[in-house]
A = this chain, B = another copy of it.
């Protein structure tokens, strides 16, 4: 910071008026739009007693709240603690990791309630929201958290808010195309959340390429404690992923099955991650980067198929493969992407979300195409793929084809959207830091003077007296 002559120093990272202005104006916009559009779903509305009578429900326990609220809370923890802490691995960017994730997610869920609401819960001029909308909003924001992983440490909070605004919008459009136009199944979001979020983020970071990023190389690593903080994020993502993949599945067996498949896939993924982490390192030691990330790939990769009859051993196979793919990606692909394609991917989302997301889409397409009435039962078959109304005559293999189309659409939307948003974020008005100040909380945060030095002086009286 005593280097006033550097070109980087010229960058204006002063947030005092810009950040408050964006936060306040956008929040006012949210209030106005919520005021005009958002009301309670019948199950959350005080008129529910009448609704119950109409629907012949005999018990309050039939309220969707009791089917989905526990899963919602698990998903909520994944978004705020899971993603937030996963990204605290950097030695001097913990505040930014947790804090900016908090900021963008808090804004994103509001905007997602609106965007998704207009597409999916719009009835006589109003968006009616219930617990399922909250889950979907969290899901949508999950894709932004993923993209954040690629640009972690290199952007200003305003850039993150701008990205959130656009990404949520495009997410909702893409989701609408997949779920409504293509009639694709994707309950755990391999395509809509992971593939879309990851390629979007990779494209953004490609556009924002920083040739001099090695100037902050010393801050791009972890320290012992920061790796433990990151493990909090990892474990919460890992443990609650069964809730993530089952949260919006059909009531009953589908939720149940999605949780079991995800549990199995994740377990297998840990074993192959550990195996390859050790194998790919000359000294055979395990690398925390792999453990923190690649162990989660199994959850991503059953995002589409978990609610289908993937079966426990099918899940193990998917998890097995993804632990390998993801770990190999960290060792070989990430450096390659950076040096050759100029994709600087701070958290390695290409390995954790992009590739496993694609695999997840493909596994989903295959599982759907392979579905039979024998395996699902006559009613179960129709229910699992919602082959009713217009889709009454759709066959499994056609469904598989549409699923595959969903992957392609998500990928294209992500790349086009990421390019657009990357270009917007490149404008020199958003207050991002110079290359040498990346990965450093001090730019946007009041950082306490670390007196750990003093802290142990207290216990080492002889040192305390020395100058």
Q: Which residues of B contact A38 (CB under 8 A)?
A: 311-313
Closest B residue by C-beta to A222: B448
CB–CB A73/B240 < 8 A: yes
CB–CB B50/A377 < 8 A: yes
Set B80, B267, B375: member contacting A235, Cβ < 8 A:
B80
Count identical subunits in the complex: 3
Q: Is A279 an interface residue (CB 8 A)?
A: yes
Name the prevailing secondary structure of the A interface residues. Answer: helix
CB–CB A34/B283 < 8 A: no
Set B20, B27, B91: member contacting A268, Cβ < 8 A:
B27
Shortest beta-carbon distance, A134 to chain B, in Å?
A: 6
Shortest beta-carbon distance, A457 to chain B, in Å?
A: 10
Q: Which residues of B contact A259 (CB under 8 A)?
A: 65, 69, 131, 134
CB–CB A46/B15 < 8 A: no
CB–CB B44/A260 < 8 A: yes
Q: Which residues of B contact A448 (CB under 8 A)?
A: 91, 221-224, 227, 288
CB–CB B450/A459 < 8 A: yes
The number of residues on chain A lying at the interface, defined by a beta carbon within 8 Å of a beta carbon of chain B, is: 153
CB–CB A19/B312 < 8 A: no
CB–CB B451/A19 < 8 A: no
A61 and B60 in contact, given A48-B253, A450-B455 (Cβ under 8 angstroms): no
Q: Is A229 an interface residue (CB 8 A)?
A: yes
Cα–Cα distance between A290 and B74 once the two chains are bound (Å): 26
CB–CB A456/B450 < 8 A: yes
Within 8 A of B (CB), among A378-392: 379-381, 383-384
Within 8 A of B (CB), among A202-254: 218, 221-225, 227-229, 231-232, 235-236, 238-240, 242-243, 251-254
Cα–Cα distance between A288 and B445 once the two chains are bound (Å): 8
Within 8 A of B (CB), among A1-59: 1-2, 14-17, 19-21, 23-24, 26-28, 30-31, 34-35, 38-41, 43-50, 52, 59
Shortest beta-carbon distance, A366 to chain B, in Å?
A: 16
CB–CB A445/B286 < 8 A: yes
Closest B residue by C-beta to A383: B49
CB–CB A46/B449 < 8 A: no
Q: Is A309 an interface residue (CB 8 A)?
A: yes
Closest B residue by C-beta to A138: B263
Q: Which residues of B contact A19 (CB under 8 A)?
A: 274-275, 278, 284
Q: Which residues of B contact A65 (CB under 8 A)?
A: 252, 255-256, 259
Cα–Cα distance between A227 and B256 once the two chains are bound (Å): 38
Q: Is A338 an interface residue (CB 8 A)?
A: no
Cα–Cα distance between A218 and B239 once the two chains are bound (Å): 34
CB–CB B287/A446 < 8 A: yes
Binds B, one of A100-108, A174-182, A186-194, A351-359: A100-108
Q: Which residues of B contact A283 (CB under 8 A)?
A: 14, 16, 446
Closest B residue by C-beta to A236: B81
Q: Is A335 an interface residue (CB 8 A)?
A: no
CB–CB B47/A106 < 8 A: no
18 A-B pairs within 8 Å (CB atoms) are namely A16-B279, A20-B279, A23-B271, A27-B268, A27-B320, A31-B316, A40-B311, A43-B256, A49-B383, A63-B256, A65-B252, A95-B288, A99-B291, A103-B271, A106-B295, A107-B270, A288-B448, A450-B455
